[in-house]
Amino acid sequence: MKNKTVAAWLAFLGGPLGLHCFYLRGFSSTLGWLLPIPTAIGLYGIERARMYGLDDGLSWALIPFLGFTISGCALTAIVYGLMSPEKWNARYNAGRASAAESTSGHTSWLTIGAVILALLVGSTVLMASLAFSIQRYFEHEIEAGRKISQ
């Protein structure tokens, strides 16, 4: 039986590595294998920014991959946490004995905690990623305009 609370926490804490996908769908989950790619791209962008500074054009283009992946996984945790027990059991515990009355789809305080933290962290990371991307883009455009005008 797949537990909703465990899935919400895995999506929030281990989502960028695809842990929630492997928990719910097994190792045949395509999304579970694809999620570490944008995470690694974003981490590479952070490493480039550390090595070459924030003026490195490639780093400011790569860093938002990590932020958007974290935000998407936080949204997934929110969706899992707010899903009704009937819908949860029908989707992830279908075909199992007594899935309809299973308590694995019920919401507990731990589930609500995952939802609250995912909302807090996910929205903060999303706003920071957008602000960082847009700021760096416009700084790059202004610098390019200055070069053209000289």
Q: What is the pLDDT of residue 45?
A: 92
Between CA 41 and CA 55 the distance in angstroms is: 18
Among 22-36, 52-66, 88-102, 115-129, the minimum mean pLDDT is found in 88-102
Asked if residues 113 and 52 have their Cβ atoms less than 8 Å apart, the reply is no
Share of the chain above pLDDT 70, in %: 95
Read off the pTM.
Answer: 0.84
Q: What is the pLDDT of residue 128?
A: 93
Between CA 92 and CA 104 the distance in angstroms is: 10
Name the residue ranges covered by the structural domains of the chain.
Answer: 4-87+104-149
Between CA 131 and CA 22 the distance in angstroms is: 32
Q: What is the pLDDT of residue 86?
A: 86
